[in-house]
Amino acid sequence: MSALVVHFPDGNREFRYPSEPPEEGDVIWHEGQRYRVIHVATEDGNMGSVTVELDSEDIGDLLKSERGGLVLVPLDA
């Protein structure tokens, strides 16, 4: 059975590969917290890891959010 690594703000956790893989912008719940998927990484065409951030309507959380922020691309990319 394949595993999916989710990168939470407080650390990484491994989960059983879901039947419906998450996409960027999706909302997931874990341990009573709501998270928004901000990045999905693939390896050899298969999903390898997902990066999430807390999804909150609190202005402080939104200011620290990657949502709507500038994305910097390395010069050599």
8 Å CB contact between 38 and 51:
yes
pLDDT in tens, 38-65: 999 877 766 678 999 988 766 555 555 5
Report in angstroms the alpha-carbon separations of 77 from 11, 18, 53, 72.
27, 31, 25, 11
What span, in angstroms and rounded, lies between the C-alpha atoms of 69 and 66? 5
Write down the domain spans for the chain: 3-63
Q: How far is CA 51 from CA 13, 68, 75, 76, in A?
A: 11, 16, 23, 23
Task: Work out the pLDDT band at 1, boundaries 50, 70, 90.
Answer: very low
Query: Residue 72: which pLDDT band, with cuts at 50, 70 and 90?
Result: very low
DSSP 3-state of 62: helix
pLDDT of residue 70: 42
Q: Judge whether 37 and 54 are in contact, CB under 8 Å.
A: no
Give the per-residue pLDDT at 38. 92
Measure the CA–CA gap between 24 and 38, rounded to whole angstroms.
5
Read off the pLDDT of residues 13-45 as tens digits, 9 standing for 90 and up: 888 877 777 889 888 888 888 888 999 987 776
